[in-house]
């Protein structure tokens, strides 16, 4: 019998009578749900070695895809290879589900499948990538202007554990840009406010609220067990502490900063790439004088600007966790909001860097005098 198409209900009847039902979609597509009892084998894999999955060329085989097109093509290809009893299910998995026939979602619960369905549809993420995000741990320093949008999107994306460190409390002036917080929470610790907001958004993400300022005494404890560090602060001493600790503990650091109408970000990954990737001190060897580093309270900042930079930081974190694309390591991206322009500059490794040069011994952490007053506020 040549290949042909059958309805989903006829396919289920034949499946119950012993026919082999094969879902030929890619792994990430099947993660969204597949016909109950179907064998999942991607079309390319099945056509490469049909005998590994089909007992005999006379076996009855029913093929499913998403809408019926790929399964029909695969059925014709198998018929050309001598398989004489192959059918394609009309309308594919969509029609199977619409007919009310039983479905299953392998290894995931309904909330996971629905919440992350758009990620699961991306071949570059899929079920394996989403599971990677679920197992990931990120340290986010600062629950202010940069930390707010970054935390929102990291929690929404399904990062399993967010450790948020900030010793500040919510102030009315924060609400112009620090979108984690609300008017009702003025005076509350920022980390408690952040935990309430993010838990309401995604209860699957564990929020570890640490109401502490980053110091030489606690920086290694804060970095313990995390995969990536996101600098969402507005404090140069903390920025240098994070850089030095990330180099020593081999953690990638996603850096961001804003000032008035401009922002910048980069990835510093010298800890894992000594001598190949620069660290923050390669770019800025020493903190600037206090008069050259006014904070947001002194200089002002356009309210949406931290949102732009914070979201780009979250993007870099997700790319690092998933191993996707090209990170900003070795580059700094600058954003001019008034001109709506991005500019990119290369950052060179400083062979004499006191922290990341391969032949330099680490001399320990130093709590420098505050340059930008007011903690991690963004």
Residues annotated catalytic, as ranges: 296
For 43-110, the DSSP string reads: HHHHHH-GGGT-S-TTS-EEEE-SSSHHHHHHHHHHHHTT--SEEEETTHHHHHHHTT--EE-TT--H
d(CA 113, CA 42): 20
Indicate the helix (H) or strand (E) that contains 140.
strand 137-141
8 Å CB contact between 191 and 143:
yes
8 Å CB contact between 346 and 186:
no
Q: Is the CA virtual torsion 111, 114, 115, 119 positive or negative?
A: positive
Spatial CA neighbour of 342 closest among 264, 267, 284, 232: 264
Whole-number Cα distances in Å, 335 to 117, 313, 314, 330: 32, 13, 16, 17
Alpha helices in 206-250 (DSSP H): 219-223, 236-249
8 Å CB contact between 137 and 161:
yes
């Amino acid at each position: 019998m040549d290949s042909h198409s059958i309805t989903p209900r006829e396919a289920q009847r034949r499946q119950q009578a012993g026919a082999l039902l094969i879902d030929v979609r890619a792994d990430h597509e099947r993660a969204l749900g597949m016909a109950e009892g179907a064998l999942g084998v991607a079309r390319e894999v099945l056509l490469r070695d049909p005998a590994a999955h089909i007992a005999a060329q006379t076996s009855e085989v029913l093929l499913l895809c998403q809408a019926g097109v790929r399964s029909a093509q695969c059925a014709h290809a198998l018929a050309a290879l001598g398989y004489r009893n192959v059918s394609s299910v009309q309308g594919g998995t969509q029609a199977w589900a619409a007919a009310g026939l039983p479905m299953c979602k392998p290894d995931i619960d309904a909330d996971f499948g629905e919440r992350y369905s758009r990620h699961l549809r991306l071949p570059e993420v899929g079920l394996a990538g989403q599971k990677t995000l679920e197992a990931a741990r990120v340290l986010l320093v600062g629950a202010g202007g940069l930390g707010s949008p970054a935390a929102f999107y990291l929690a929404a994306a399904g990062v399993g554990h967010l450790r948020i460190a900030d010793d500040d409390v919510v102030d009315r002036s924060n609400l112009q840009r620090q979108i984690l917080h609300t008017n009702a929470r003025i005076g509350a610790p920022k980390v408690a406010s952040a935990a309430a907001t993010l838990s309401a958004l995604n209860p699957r993400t564990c929020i570890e609220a640490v109401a502490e300022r980053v110091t030489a005494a606690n920086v290694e404890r804060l970095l313990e067990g995390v995969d990536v560090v996101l600098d969402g602060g507005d404090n140069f001493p903390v920025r240098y502490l994070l850089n030095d600790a990330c180099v020593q503990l081999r953690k990638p650091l996603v850096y961001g900063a804003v000032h008035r109408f401009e922002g910048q970000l980069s990835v510093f990954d010298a800890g894992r790439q000594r001598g190949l990737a620069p660290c923050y001190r390669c770019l800025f060897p020493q903190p600037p004088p206090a008069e050259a580093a006014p904070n947001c309270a002194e200089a002002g900042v356009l309210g949406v600007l931290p949102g732009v930079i914070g979201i780009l930081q979250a993007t870099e974190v997700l790319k690092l966790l998933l191993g996707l694309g090209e990170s900003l390591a070795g580059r700094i991206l600058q954003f001019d909001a008034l001109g709506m322009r991005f500019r990119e500059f290369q950052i060179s490794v400083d062979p004499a860097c006191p922290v990341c040069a391969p032949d330099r011994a680490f001399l320990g952490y130093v709590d420098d005098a505050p340059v930008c007053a007011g903690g991690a506020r963004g």
